[in-house]
């Protein structure tokens, strides 16, 4: 193999494109392929199909330097041009919470066909999040059957989960806390380890070598503990709501100073959303049950998260004495700041509940309005600025903690709203300051409401 491996990435959704651009930026030659022609057309022009800080300039540079190619549905060609292939297609949820492997299976068949034609030792790396056993039982079997070759001899197989967060994908890619490489055969694991040692040189993060199933589980366990921290602190927040004078923010700050607990992922709010935590917790529950183990802790994590967004509506209703006919301004639509992703966004159950209560809803988000329109359609009104959103509103709920909203002062709310009623769903405002000038409530702020 050449000194710098040629890499193919199959599937250029969020994970695939960030992986492809990350490798291309580090000087690797990357050939990607995706079944969606519109997405490929955009990428070829250097236009990312989603919002991610730094992606636009890095994608443009990678294409201009000839380091990144993007093909339409040509997995075989991409595999044959390269020596390492990353599978980065989606693994969506089925109605029972288990993951749908149809894209993984289809791609594995195409890779297998290419391997049949190739005479080189090729390594297949699963980047997609897949439940334990998928690499061994599904991917390896399909690759061997289709290629008529033997895993571990003619080709290698690894699981290399990603831990990048939307909104900070490149910061996470270039400064990883750890790299996990699960391999079927030692040889393929050694090659992928060498790839990452080169990628991160000279500051190589800890590299954890495991078997396939352990690597698959590390990804789910990592997301599940973070989701658990969030549901835990939201449980404490809901308890604080019942205790006059209690404040979850101070509870979390003090808890976080304990080195064994740590300060991160203890922000109480409206719960977790996005394409990963909700899906992965559900998949881990389904996987556990299929193996005959009842994962009660994870079921509770999910239950708490399901109810959490409604707490903001409850607080708003209490402050206003009812929501019928009231104009409610929502600040933020995306599932978190710095993204336009609306998947499992907390705003959706909030909107449903507000509409059920008879409120008129108007919302503003710095980047997610277009995405939101395709999901929420004309059930709500869309504002093009904070001022337009707050104008004449009876109540306001902060749904996403964009920096733009953090800068608002109590006077901004007083100036534009019909009634200065504010619910801080993300704990971005100082209750002492905002509580003095507004009818103010916040998640986990015991007001005895
Ligand atoms: C998450 C993980 O953090 C990544 O490590 C992982 O790679 C990724 O899933 C994945 O599986 O692909 P992401 O979904 O981008 O990344 O978002 P996070 O920043 O983890 O936030 C998830 C949700 O939790 C958001 O809705 C956020 O608002 C919420 N959250 C986060 C809280 O409510 N409180 C917190 O303290 C932290």
Minimum-distance ligand 1 atom for the alpha carbon of 163: 7
| pLDDT number for residue 10 | 98
Q: Is 267 in the pocket of ligand 1 (CB under 6 A)?
A: yes
CA distances from 233 to 60, 73, 86, 240 (A): 41, 44, 36, 10
Minimum-distance ligand 1 atom for the alpha carbon of 14: 12
- CA triplet 120, 125, 130: central angle to 5 degrees? 150
- From 223, 264, 266, 442, give the residue whose CB has the most ligand 1 atoms within 8 Å, as the site to mutate: 223
User: What is the DSSP annotation of 349-385?
Assistant: HHHHHHHHTT-EEEEE-SS-HHHHHHHHGGGSEE-SS
Q: Whole-angstrom Cα distance, residue 117 to residue 123?
A: 14
* 93 secondary structure, DSSP code: B
276 as an active site residue: the answer is yes
- Considering only CA atoms, which residue is closest to atom 28 of ligand 1? 336
Is the pLDDT score of 448 beyond 70?
no
- Considering only CA atoms, which residue is closest to atom 20 of ligand 1? 165
Q: Is 223 in the pocket of ligand 1 (CB under 6 A)?
A: yes
For the entire predicted model, the pTM comes to 0.95
- Over residues 163-205, the pLDDT tens digits come to 999 999 999 999 999 999 999 999 999 999 999 999 999 999 9
- Over residues 1-15, the pLDDT tens digits come to 447 899 999 999 999
- CA triplet 18, 20, 24: central angle to 5 degrees? 115
Residue 399 CA to ligand 1 center (angstroms) comes to 15
* Helical ranges in 96-211 per DSSP H: 102-117, 134, 140-147, 169-174, 186-200
Please report how many Cα atoms fall inside a 13 Å half-sphere around the Cα of residue 48, on the Cβ side. Answer: 23
* Average pLDDT of the chain, as a whole number: 96
- Considering only CA atoms, which residue is closest to atom 13 of ligand 1? 165
Placement of tokens 């200065």 in the chain: 420
| pLDDT number for residue 447 | 76
Q: Is 164 in the pocket of ligand 1 (CB under 6 A)?
A: yes
**Of 100, 128, 113, 172, whose CA–CA distance to 11 is shortest?**
128
User: What is the DSSP annotation of 243-298?
Assistant: STT-BHHHHHHHHHTSTTT-STT---SS---SSSHHHHHHHHHHHHHHTT---HHH
- Over residues 16-61, the pLDDT tens digits come to 999 999 999 999 999 999 999 999 999 999 999 998 999 999 999 9
Residue 144 CA to ligand 1 center (angstroms) comes to 36
Which of 276, 287, 316, 396 is labelled catalytic? 276
Show the tokens assigned to 232. 């835990």
Placement of tokens 């967004």 in the chain: 309
CB atoms within 10 A of CB 105: 15
User: Please, are residues 186 and 104 in contact by the beta-carbon 8 Å criterion?
Assistant: no
User: Please, are residues 49 and 11 in contact by the beta-carbon 8 Å criterion?
Assistant: no
- Considering only CA atoms, which residue is closest to atom 1 of ligand 1? 165
- CA triplet 315, 304, 338: central angle to 5 degrees? 75
Region 350-360: mean pLDDT is 98
- Considering only CA atoms, which residue is closest to atom 19 of ligand 1? 165
Is the pLDDT score of 116 beyond 80?
yes
- From 11, 166, 220, give the residue whose CB has the most ligand 1 atoms within 8 Å, as the site to mutate: 166
For 318-338, give one letter per residue: b (16+ CB within 10 A) or e. Answer: ebbeebeebbbbbbbbbbbbb
Helix/strand/coil for 155 = strand
Q: Is 128 in the pocket of ligand 1 (CB under 6 A)?
A: no
Q: How far is CA 330 from the centre of its chain?
A: 22
Kindly state the greatest CA–CA separation across the chain: 74
- Considering only CA atoms, which residue is closest to atom 9 of ligand 1? 276
Q: Is 230 in the pocket of ligand 1 (CB under 6 A)?
A: yes
- Over residues 387-396, the pLDDT tens digits come to 999 999 999 9
């Amino acid at each position: 193999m050449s000194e710098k491996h040629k890499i193919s990435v199959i599937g250029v959704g969020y994970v695939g494109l960030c992986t492809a651009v990350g490798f291309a930026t580090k000087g690797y030659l990357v050939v990607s392929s995706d079944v969606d022609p519109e997405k490929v057309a955009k990428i070829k022009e250097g236009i990312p199909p989603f919002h991610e800080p730094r992606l636009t300039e890095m994608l443009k540079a990678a294409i201009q330097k000839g380091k990144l190619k993007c093909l339409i549905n040509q997995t075989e060609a991409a595999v044959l041009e390269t020596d390492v292939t990353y599978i980065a297609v989606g693994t969506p949820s089925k109605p029972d919470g288990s993951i749908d492997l149809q894209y993984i299976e289809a791609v594995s068949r195409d890779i297998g066909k290419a391997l049949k034609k190739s005479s080189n030792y090729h390594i297949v790396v699963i980047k997609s999040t897949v439940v334990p056993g998928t690499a061994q039982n599904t991917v390896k079997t399909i690759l061997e059957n289709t290629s008529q070759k033997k895993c571990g001899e003619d080709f290698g197989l690894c699981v290399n989960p990603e831990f990048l967060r939307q909104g900070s994908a490149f910061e996470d890619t270039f400064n990883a806390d750890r790299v996990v490489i699960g391999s079927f055969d030692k040889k393929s694991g050694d090659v992928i380890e060498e790839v990452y040692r080169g990628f991160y040189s000279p500051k190589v993060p800890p590299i954890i070598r495991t078997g396939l199933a352990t690597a698959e589980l590390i990804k789910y366990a990592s997301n599940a503990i973070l989701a658990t921290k969030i549901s835990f602190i939201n449980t404490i927040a809901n308890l604080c709501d019942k205790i006059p004078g209690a404040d979850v923010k101070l509870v979390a700050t003090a808890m976080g100073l304990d080195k064994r607990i740590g300060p991160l992922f203890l922000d109480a709010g409206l719960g977790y959303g996005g394409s990963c935590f909700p899906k992965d917790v559900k998949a881990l529950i389904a996987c556990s049950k299929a193996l005959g183990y009842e994962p009660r802790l994870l079921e509770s994590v999910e239950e708490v998260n399901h109810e959490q967004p409604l707490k903001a509506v409850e607080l708003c209703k209490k402050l206003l004495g009812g929501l019928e006919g009231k104009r409610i301004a929502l600040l933020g639509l995306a599932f978190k700041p710095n993204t336009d992703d609306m998947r499992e966004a907390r705003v959706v159950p909030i909107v449903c509940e507000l509409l059920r209560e008879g409120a008129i809803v108007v919302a503003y988000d710095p980047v997610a309005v277009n995405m939101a329109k395709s999901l929420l359609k004309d059930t709500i009104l869309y504002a093009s600025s904070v001022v337009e959103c707050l104008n004449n509103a009876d109540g306001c709920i902060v749904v996403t903690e964009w920096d733009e909203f953090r800068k608002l002062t109590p006077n901004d709310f007083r100036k534009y709203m019909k009634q200065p009623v504010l619910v801080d769903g993300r704990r971005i405002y100082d209750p002492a300051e905002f509580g003095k000038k507004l009818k103010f409530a916040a998640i986990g702020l015991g007001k005895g409401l």
